[in-house]
Amino acid sequence: QGVSEMRLKVNGTVRVINAEPRVTLLDALREYLDLTGSKKGCDLGQCGACTVLVDGRRINSCLTLAVMNQGREITTIEGLAKGDDLHPMQAAFVKHDGFQCGYCTPGQILSGVACVNEGHATSDAQTREWMSGNLCRCGAYPNIVAAVREVQQ
């Protein structure tokens, strides 16, 4: 398949890449745009490490093609803070130690943002259910839930 030009709006800026249509959004972000905050854990839609927001909704970026996301607002972990000011969810993860090794953290934080924004964080049980697609091998789940709870309040 040939290479074609794609225009991706990432963190408020339109970026142009030349890539084959088979390239996933995750690979476009990491390999073409140098936005390596989104992590590749499984590349199969099972771990949530690659979670980004597309038009405000969370998505596993390993399961969607870059070409399909043209014209949409893509938000990665790099786009969440405003200058030196952390996004409230980032600050809450720091405060509550919502990580250990940190590999799953970008995906956890973006999933947490969507969890609150879409009204799924009204109880810890609901948060756990909503966040169940974001795996943490260090087992920081109680602290992650605490961080989401703080932002929800």
The interface region with ligand FES, picked from 1-9, 37-45, 91-99, 123-131 by CB under 6 A, is: 37-45
112 binds ligand FES (CB under 6 A): no
The interface region with ligand FES, picked from 35-43, 74-82, 114-122, 142-150 by CB under 6 A, is: 35-43
Distance of closest approach, residue 43 Cβ to ligand FES, in angstroms: 5
Give me the DSSP letters along 132-143.
TTS--TT--HHH
Q: How far is CA 108 from the centre of its chain?
A: 7
Residues near ligand FES (CB under 6 A), total: 12
The answer to whether the Cα torsion of 67, 113, 134, 34 is positive or negative is: positive
Q: Which is nearer to ligand FES, 47 or 65 (CB)?
A: 47
Angle at 42 between CA 33 and CA 111, to 5 degrees: 70
Sites for ligand FES among residues 38-97 (CB under 6 A): 40-43, 45-50, 60, 62
Q: Which is nearer to ligand FES, 47 or 92 (CB)?
A: 47
Structure tokens at 143: 């602290």
21 within 8 A of 40, measured Cβ to Cβ: no
Say which residue the tokens 């973006």 belong to: 110
Distance of closest approach, residue 116 Cβ to ligand FES, in angstroms: 21
Distance of closest approach, residue 135 Cβ to ligand FES, in angstroms: 8
Q: In angstroms, what CA-CA distances link 40 with 3, 50, 73, 103? A: 23, 6, 21, 9
Distance of closest approach, residue 46 Cβ to ligand FES, in angstroms: 5
Which residues contact ligand FES by CB under 6 A? Answer: 40-43, 45-50, 60, 62
